[in-house]
C-alpha cells in the first residue's frame, strides 16, 4: 500500500473513533432509576391524657343563725354526746388557728356533705367575754377538724373517766384561718411545759407542778388555748395571766365551781402537786400570754 493511501486509511479510522466517542458522551447515561426513600414510618401516638381537675368535696350547707341558736352551744361547761368520739379521730397539729366569722358557726360529727349540725360554737367565750379562736387539727376537702371547749361525756355519769378534750368538724369557709409557728407541750412524764416552734426549737421550757393520779393533768390528748386573761379574784395567781385550755379533768366532774377545767397558771408554792392544772412560774405565764388564742396545746 502506498504511503499516501496508508495515511488516508489511518485518518479515516481516527475520524470514526472520534465519532464513536462523541456519540457515547452525548448519549444519556441509562441505569436503574434510584427509588425515592420510603416515607418515614409514622406511629400513631395518643394525645396525653389531660390531668383531671380535682373535684372539690362538697360541704354541708351554711346554717342560718336562727338554726344554730337552736342546737347545743359548745362551751366549757357543756357536755355534748353527739360530738365525735376522740378515739376514732387522728388529730395532728395543722399549725393554724381558726376564728369564727359569725356569732355562731356550726359543728359537725363528720366531714360529709350530708352531716347535720350537732352544735354551735360562739365567737365569744362565755363568762370571760374573750374572742373565740380554736386550733385546727386536720383538714378534709372544705372541712376542718377543730378543738372544742366542751366535753363529750362527764366522768362518773355511767363511766369512771371521760375524754379530757374533744374535737368536731366545721366548714372552713365559716372561719378565718391564721398560720402559727408555736405550740405548747405539756409532758407528764417529765413534768415539763415548753413552748416549741414548728422547727422544734425551744422558745421556753421549765419544770411544772402537775396533778396526781386521783386529780390528774390531761394526758395523751390535744387541745387549745381557749383564753388568756388576768383575774384578780384568783388571788393565788398574783395578777399573772391565766392560760385557760379547752381540756377538762378525765376523772373529776367538777372542781372549784366549774367543770374541772385545766389551766396553766402561776402558783406561789413551788412544791407539791396541783388538782390537774399546770402550775408554772410567773415568767412562763407571761411567755404563754404572748401566744395567740387558739394555739394548740399537746398533753403527752
Domains of the chain: 65-179 (no CATH), 182-299 (2.40.440.10)
Task: Give yes or no for residue 209 having a pLDDT over 90.
Answer: yes
124 touches 132 (CB < 8 A) = yes
pLDDT-derived band at 271 (thresholds 50, 70, 90) equals confident
Closest CA to 192 of 32, 300, 108, 56: 300
Of 50-54, 68-72, 121-125, least confident by mean pLDDT is 50-54
Cα 240 from Cα 224, distance rounded (Å) = 19
Q: Is the pTM of this model over 0.85?
A: no
pLDDT-derived band at 30 (thresholds 50, 70, 90) equals very low
Mean pLDDT, range 140-158, rounded to an integer = 94
pLDDT-derived band at 272 (thresholds 50, 70, 90) equals confident
Average pLDDT, the chain: 86
DSSP string across 100-123: ESSSEEEEESSSSTTPPEEEEEES
Task: Give yes or no for residue 22 having a pLDDT over 50.
Answer: no
Mean pLDDT, range 130-158, rounded to an integer = 95
pLDDT-derived band at 258 (thresholds 50, 70, 90) equals confident
Give, in order, the Cα–Cα distances in Å from 48 to each of 25, 42, 86, 247. Answer: 60, 17, 45, 53
Mean pLDDT, range 133-162, rounded to an integer = 94
Mean pLDDT, range 265-293, rounded to an integer = 95
Of 1-5, 107-111, 176-180, least confident by mean pLDDT is 1-5
Structural Rg of the chain based on CA atoms: 42
- Residue 288: partners with Cβ closer than 8 Å, 6 or more residues away: 184, 195, 225, 228, 241, 243, 264, 280
Amino acid at each position: 500500500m502506498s504511503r499516501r493511501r496508508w495515511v488516508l486509511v489511518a485518518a479515516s479510522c481516527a475520524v470514526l473513533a472520534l465519532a464513536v466517542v462523541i456519540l457515547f458522551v452525548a448519549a444519556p447515561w441509562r441505569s436503574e432509576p434510584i427509588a425515592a426513600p420510603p416515607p418515614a414510618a409514622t406511629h400513631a401516638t395518643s394525645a396525653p391524657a389531660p390531668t383531671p381537675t380535682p373535684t372539690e368535696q362538697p360541704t354541708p350547707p351554711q346554717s342560718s343563725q336562727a338554726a344554730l341558736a337552736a342546737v347545743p352551744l359548745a362551751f366549757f361547761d357543756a357536755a355534748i354526746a353527739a360530738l365525735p368520739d376522740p378515739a376514732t379521730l387522728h388529730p395532728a397539729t395543722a399549725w393554724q388557728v381558726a376564728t369564727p366569722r359569725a356569732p355562731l358557726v356550726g359543728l359537725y360529727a363528720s366531714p360529709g356533705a350530708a352531716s347535720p349540725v350537732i352544735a354551735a360554737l360562739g365567737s365569744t367565750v362565755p363568762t370571760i367575754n374573750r374572742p373565740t379562736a380554736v386550733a385546727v387539727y386536720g383538714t378534709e376537702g372544705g372541712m376542718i377538724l377543730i378543738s372544742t371547749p366542751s366535753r363529750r361525756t362527764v366522768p362518773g355519769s355511767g363511766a369512771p373517766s371521760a375524754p379530757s378534750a374533744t374535737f368536731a368538724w366545721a366548714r372552713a369557709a365559716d372561719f378565718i384561718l391564721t398560720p402559727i409557728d408555736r405550740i405548747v407541750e405539756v409532758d407528764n412524764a417529765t413534768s415539763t411545759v415548753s413552748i416549741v416552734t414548728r422547727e422544734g426549737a425551744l422558745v421556753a421550757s421549765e419544770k411544772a407542778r402537775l396533778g396526781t393520779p386521783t386529780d390528774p393533768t390531761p394526758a395523751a390528748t390535744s387541745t387549745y388555748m381557749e383564753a388568756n386573761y388576768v383575774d384578780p379574784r384568783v388571788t393565788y395567781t398574783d395578777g399573772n395571766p391565766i392560760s385557760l385550755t379547752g381540756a377538762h379533768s378525765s376523772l373529776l366532774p367538777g372542781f372549784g365551781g366549774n367543770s374541772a377545767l385545766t389551766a396553766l397558771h402561776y402558783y406561789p408554792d413551788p412544791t407539791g402537786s396541783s388538782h390537774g392544772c399546770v402550775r408554772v412560774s410567773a415568767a412562763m405565764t407571761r411567755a404563754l400570754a404572748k401566744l395567740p388564742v387558739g394555739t394548740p396545746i399537746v398533753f403527752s
